[in-house]
A = this chain, B = another copy of it.
Amino acid sequence: MLTGVTVEPPGLRERKKLATRTALRAAALRLVARDGLERVTVDQIALAADVAPRTFRHYFSCKEEAVVASAQEGAAALVDRFRARPAGESVLEALREAVVAVMDEGEATSRDHLTVLRLARTTPALQPWQLAVLATAEADLAAAVADRVGESGRYPQVCAAATFAVLRLSLGRWLDGPAADLDALRAEIGAGLAELARGLDRP
């Protein structure tokens, strides 16, 4: 099992809650990707997700948060894959393989994640919320790194923060660059992580 939290099967209530949340974030992403952030209201998102407008704010505090929620799932999946990597790999190796694993599997999730990234680059108002998502996932990744190396000091935090920074940069550079295929993205991320592994100082 990859998710290390809930062991008992979630009840009907939990599943409905998750379904509502998923419907809301999917609707938010779809509408905003189609019409632009400014031309979508919370009411429209709620309507598209078949819930009352008031219900929307039980899940998200604003439409920006709903849009980037898809990226949150991707980041959480990355942490799960990292925890599942064999102990033989070094920390950065395991991280790189986890990234590759996440990209290779969930097609729909992966595409949502990339859609969010594209949106965040063209819509400045989304950037703060996208960064907040990364910061949240960063704490989880730091805990996972701490578990892996058996040490809970500064290193896991620095490692997690630097990794997500490289991930964010690499995706940006990939979207800016000429080659838009996944292999180019893997190479970009690998090169970024290699720089972290090698040490960042320069004379």
Say which one of A22-30, A38-46, A49-57, A123-131 lies at the interface with B.
A123-131
Q: How many copies does the complex hold?
A: 2
Contact B192 A200 (CB under 8 A): no
- Nearest Cβ on chain B to A52's Cβ, whole angstroms: 24
B162 pairs with A200, CB closer than 8 A: yes
The complex places the Cα of A168 from the Cα of B165 at a distance, in Å, of 12
Instruction: Give the docked Cα–Cα distance between A59 and B15 (Å).
Output: 44
Interface residue? A84 (CB, 8 A):
no
In chain A, positions 124-148 with a C-beta closer than 8 Å to chain B are 125, 127-129, 131-132, 134-135
Q: Does A158 contact B (CB under 8 A)?
A: yes
Give CA–CA (A128, B93) in the complex, Å: 30
Q: Determine if A196 is an interface residue (Cβ-Cβ < 8 Å).
A: yes
A202 x B155 contact (CB < 8 A):
yes
Is A199 a contact partner of B202 (Cβ separation < 8 A)? no
* Residues A201 and B90 in contact, CB atoms below 8 Å apart: yes
Closest to A124 in B: B132
> With a CB–CB cut-off of 8 A, which chain B residues contact A125?
61
Query: Once bound together, how far apart are the Cα atoms of A90 and B91, in whole Å?
Result: 26
- Given B127, B129, B169, B188, which contacts A161 in the complex, CB threshold below 8 Å? B169
Residue of B nearest to A197 (CB): B201
- Whether A173 sits at the interface, judged by CB under 8 Å, is yes
Which residues on B sit within 8 Å (CB–CB) of A134? 131
Given contacts A90-B202, A92-B201, A128-B129, contact A168 B158 (CB under 8 A): no
**Contact partners of A149 in chain B: CB under 8 A:** 202
Q: A162-181 vs B: 1/0 string, CB under 8 Å?
A: 10111011000100000000
- Listed A/B pairs (14) with beta-carbon separation below 8 Å: A91-B202, A92-B200, A127-B132, A128-B128, A131-B134, A149-B202, A154-B173, A154-B191, A154-B195, A155-B195, A158-B166, A158-B169, A196-B201, A198-B199
| 10 A-B pairs closest in CB distance | A128-B128, A199-B199, A161-B165, A131-B131, A197-B201, A128-B132, A92-B201, A162-B162, A196-B200, A91-B202
